[in-house]
A = this chain, B = another copy of it.
Amino acid sequence: MLSRMLIRIADRARANFAEAVAPFGLPIPLARALLALHEPSSMRSIADFLACDPSYVTGLADQLEERGLVTRQPGADRRIKLVILTPAGHELRERMAEAVYDHGRFAPTIPADKRVQLREILEQLLEDQDKGVRR
């Protein structure tokens, strides 16, 4: 079945990610959170990006802060806290992103045209998913 295949392959993709970030010594959830920070972000927007509960982001941000990778700054709306990369955080994020990209080159045996097909189909699927298409 299609779903089962998708899940197996995604598991491999996750394992790839884990391998790629392992050398940096960050637990996977922290690595994911760090990579989410392409710009200063509220706790909530991080939660949305990671598809998790905001309460969970609190812990992630705490740990990134302990490691000196981010700081929290109050936003204009003072309920909001902006999570901002420190220079060290920025630098680590760059290096990690590159490692993930290099390591993540998917499916070297799949020819380029097939990969384009795959991307198109996946895009369509994600779109359906966002629109909540019944399946």
Contact = CB atoms under 8 A, between A and B. Distances in A.
Number of identical monomers bound together in the oligomeric complex: 2
Nearest to A106: B2
A122 B5 contact: yes
A108 interface: yes
Nearest to A35: B4
Contact of A123 (B5, B10, B106, B125): B5
Interface of A: 1-14, 16-17, 51, 101, 103-110, 114-115, 117-126, 128-129, 133-135
A11 B9 CA distance: 12
B110 A121 contact: yes
A121 B117 contact: yes
A9 B11 CA distance: 12
